[in-house]
């Protein structure tokens, strides 16, 4: 089949000649909780599976990998040093029309300070910052109800829940302007800073905030 004849040989070759590291793309605390090294290479299929198997997926579940089929990709020694994925993205995929400077991924940065951070520059002038709006709400980010959502156990239940929530989102009434958005946000939370109804969404079309 195409996996055995095309995909696996291609991945095996990329592991050997074009290795990439995912360490800077993932949360170090998350990797630590899973018992994985922060030096996380794409070529490490076992560690990759351990990480992605821990993710809760609403729409599907992963099937166990057939290690005998994937044996050409196991235990490969890279011939060159792995390149961080975010660096490849910036250097290879960024076009001259993308007017932004290089910045390291969030997982590379100290949450309290960025002092001493080595930031590369592509010497391209950045465009003026976009206009930002700050809307104060009564949302309480420390309330237990806002800190977590009980995960549904079965894949069928998660799929049903996802479809229902998407329907609520796409059918939500849209605001007409910024003042309308402020008004709706002021009514969406109760005195504890929690949404009155979990299915309550607000549509915010871009044109409502223009001008």
pLDDT digits 0-9 by tens, 120-134: 444 445 455 556 777
- Three-state DSSP class for residue 111: coil
Q: What is the mean pLDDT of residues 193-209?
A: 87
pLDDT above 70: residue 17: yes
More confident call, 192 vs 114 = 192
CA distances from 60 to 63, 154, 158 (A): 9, 10, 9
Q: With contact defined as beta carbons under 8 Å apart, do 168 and 201 qualify?
A: yes
pLDDT digits 0-9 by tens, 54-108: 766 655 666 778 889 988 888 887 788 877 777 766 665 555 544 455 555 554 4
pLDDT digits 0-9 by tens, 182-200: 999 988 999 999 999 888 8
- Three-state DSSP class for residue 170: helix
| pTM, full prediction | 0.40
- Residue 146 CA to residue 177 CA, distance in Å, equals 27
| Domain positions in the chain | 1-105+121-126, 144-209
Q: With contact defined as beta carbons under 8 Å apart, do 138 and 120 qualify?
A: no
- Three-state DSSP class for residue 162: helix
Q: With contact defined as beta carbons under 8 Å apart, do 164 and 158 qualify?
A: no
Buried b (16+ CB within 10 A) or exposed e, 114-129: eeeeeeeeeeeeeeee
């Amino acid at each position: 089949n195409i996996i055995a004849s095309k995909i696996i040989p291609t991945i095996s070759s990329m592991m050997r000649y074009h290795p990439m590291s995912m360490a800077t793309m993932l949360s170090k605390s998350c990797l630590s909780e899973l018992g994985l090294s922060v030096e996380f290479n794409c070529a490490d299929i076992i560690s990759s599976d351990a990480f992605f198997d821990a993710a809760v997926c609403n729409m599907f579940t992963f099937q166990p990998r057939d290690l005998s089929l994937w044996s050409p990709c196991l235990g490969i020694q890279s011939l060159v040093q792995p390149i961080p994925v975010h660096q490849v993205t910036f250097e290879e995929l960024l076009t001259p029309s993308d007017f932004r400077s290089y910045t390291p991924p969030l997982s590379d940065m100290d949450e309290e300070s960025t002092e001493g951070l080595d930031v590369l520059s592509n010497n391209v002038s950045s465009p003026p910052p976009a206009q930002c709006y700050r809307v104060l709400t009564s949302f309480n980010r420390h309330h237990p109800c806002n800190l977590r959502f009980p995960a549904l156990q079965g894949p069928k239940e998660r799929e049903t829940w996802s479809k229902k929530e998407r329907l609520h989102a796409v059918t939500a009434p849209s605001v007409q302007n910024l003042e309308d958005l402020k008004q709706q946000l002021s009514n969406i939370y109760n005195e504890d800073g929690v949404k009155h109804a979990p299915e309550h969404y607000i549509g915010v079309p871009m044109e409502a905030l223009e001008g």
